Amino acid sequence: MNQESAFRYREHSLFAEDVALADIAREHGTPAYVYSRSAIETAFASFVQACRGRDALVCFALKANSNLAIIELLARAGAGFDIVSGGELQRVVAAGGDPSKVLFSGVGKSEAEMRCALDAGVRCFNVESESELLRLDRVAASRKLRAPVSLRVNPDVDAGTHPYISTGLRENKFGIAHEDALDVYRRAAALANIEVKGIACHIGSQITSVDPYLAAADKLLELVDALHADGIELHHIDFGGGLGIRYRDEDPPSAQALLEALFRRLDRHPRGSRYGVFFEFGRSIVGNAGVLLTRVEYLKQNGERRFAIVDAAMNDLMRPALYEAYHGVLPVRQRDDVEARRYDVVGPVCESGDWLARDRSLAIEEGDLLAIASAGAYGMAMASNYNTRPRAVELLVDGAQVQVVRERESVASLFALERRLR
């Protein structure tokens, strides 16, 4: 079952795999995140398939969705994991993932995080600055270990995506500038407790064309050559993540098309096929495998504008408020007994920025259910408790089975760590 077919109408009722979303709402309440197990597995498998016959490690970028059950099912499918905190490492371990398939990314790794990651035996640290390199060398020395390292190079290419999620331009905080990388590699190679393993980049997220990846690959290969000439041999190239999904009408390349293009570029390079390849995909593995199920509380009209006020809000799905992101809105029951009107779909939070969708034609009444589409990535992972709203329940659908993979939070749990005045 591919991602498009995981959420489909059967006789005007929207299903997740073989379960009616209306039944899920009745049983588990709303708002609820609903994921399709097979959609996740199919998306991951398409990357694995595209890597067949190559020395490749396909990692799931945990930040996109860090639910333990999702980590576990990807771990069972053989995934590695891209992490950006000690907390994410603990999740991988708790879900039965293999630390030797973990890449540790991120611009601000603390000493404590480095220690934990070294002790756990992660595959590679993607180092983003010279200061970080020196710190890692010190921490590794204190553990009597050598830290496996890639430098995350900023290739200065435009991924053509939203400025908040573009990371590979010179002005971003990420990575080591291309022109400084050679010097930092020389420095790294001379450090006793650092083992230079590879080179990494990640140019942004929701990328919908192959070209920026190829431009970045060329920049990395230039450096690989310069390092080779310098006697520094690398073992792997990490192309990062960032492959886009269809939210509306985007037409991103398939996993296969992207990876084939990259492999072709690599194979044209005289020593290209010698290098292992790593990837760090998040959104393209889980994004279209989840919806946010919500109920319409009220319909109202202010002047010319009509609003559908739903029980999910910006605290549940922050992407529209933060990036003006588009998410499809699917009525759970397709009805022809009410007229379609144009609505802004908004939440109960006290902010004008609290909207989930704007100006959508919907045939709905109060009490109806809506599925906010493509919410599997950076949905629950970015959710907050703003307005003391308990975070939604998370459910994993597998055929006709529904499993609660995170219970709905209780209000009491939200202030359990707080203390009354002494």
- Binding map of ligand LLP across residues 11-50, x = CB under 6 A, - = no contact: ----------------------------------------
Per CB under 6 A, 88 contacts ligand LLP: no
Phi-psi region of 116 (alpha: psi -120 to 50; beta: other; left: phi over 0): alpha
Question: What's the rounded Cα separation, in Å, for the pair 326 and 12?
Answer: 24
Nearer to ligand LLP, 212 or 331 (CB): 212
Applying CB under 6 A, which of residues 97, 155, 212, 241 lies at the interface with ligand LLP?
A: 241
Diameter of the chain measured on Cα atoms: 74
Per CB under 6 A, 376 contacts ligand LLP: no
Nearer to ligand LLP, 317 or 346 (CB): 317
Only one of the segments 12-20, 238-246, 306-314, 334-342 lies at the binding site for ligand LLP (rule: CB under 6 A); that segment is 238-246
Question: What's the rounded Cα separation, in Å, for the pair 263 and 265?
Answer: 5
Beta carbon of residue 55, minimum distance to ligand LLP (angstroms, whole number): 20
Amino acid 247 reads Y
Cα angle: 221, vertex 227, 232; to 5 degrees: 130
- Binding map of ligand LLP across residues 99-118, x = CB under 6 A, - = no contact: ------x-------------
Beta carbon of residue 240, minimum distance to ligand LLP (angstroms, whole number): 5
Nearer to ligand LLP, 75 or 255 (CB): 255
Annotation marks residue 124 as catalytic? no
Applying CB under 6 A, which of residues 36, 46, 154, 205 lies at the interface with ligand LLP?
A: 205
Residue 149 · residue 195 · CB < 8 Å: yes
Per CB under 6 A, 242 contacts ligand LLP: yes
Judged by DSSP in three states, 389 sits in coil
Q: Among all chains, which residue has been given the structure tokens 């549940």?
A: 316
Could you give phi then psi for residue 388, rounded to 5 degrees? 50, 50
Judged by DSSP in three states, 187 sits in helix
Nearer to ligand LLP, 331 or 347 (CB): 347
DSSP state of 83: E
Nearer to ligand LLP, 281 or 355 (CB): 281
Beta carbon of residue 239, minimum distance to ligand LLP (angstroms, whole number): 10
Per CB under 6 A, 236 contacts ligand LLP: no
Only one of the segments 34-42, 86-94, 236-244, 360-368 lies at the binding site for ligand LLP (rule: CB under 6 A); that segment is 236-244
Question: What's the rounded Cα separation, in Å, for the pair 17 and 8?
Answer: 8
Amino acid 211 reads D
Burial of 108 from C-beta contacts in 10 A (0-12 / 13-18 / 19+):
exposed
Only one of the segments 26-34, 140-148, 274-282, 413-421 lies at the binding site for ligand LLP (rule: CB under 6 A); that segment is 274-282
Applying CB under 6 A, which of residues 240, 252, 320, 331 lies at the interface with ligand LLP?
A: 240
Question: What's the rounded Cα separation, in Å, for the pair 318 and 382?
Answer: 7
Question: What's the rounded Cα separation, in Å, for the pair 3 and 123?
Answer: 30
Question: What's the rounded Cα separation, in Å, for the pair 220 and 259?
Answer: 16
Judged by DSSP in three states, 208 sits in coil
Residues with Cβ < 8 Å from 61, sequence gap 6 or more? Answer: 81, 82, 241, 280, 281, 282
Beta carbon of residue 61, minimum distance to ligand LLP (angstroms, whole number): 3
Nearer to ligand LLP, 193 or 206 (CB): 206
Nearer to ligand LLP, 168 or 331 (CB): 168
Applying CB under 6 A, which of residues 25, 116, 118, 165 lies at the interface with ligand LLP?
A: 165
Short-list 81, 7, 73, 9, CA closest to 40: 73
Q: Label the pairing between strands 305-310 and 393-398.
A: unpaired
Per CB under 6 A, 202 contacts ligand LLP: yes
Applying CB under 6 A, which of residues 101, 178, 197, 283 lies at the interface with ligand LLP?
A: 283
Q: Which residues are catalytic?
A: 350
Positions touching ligand LLP (CB under 6 A) are 61, 63-64, 82, 105, 165, 167, 202, 205-206, 240-243, 280-284, 319, 323, 377-378
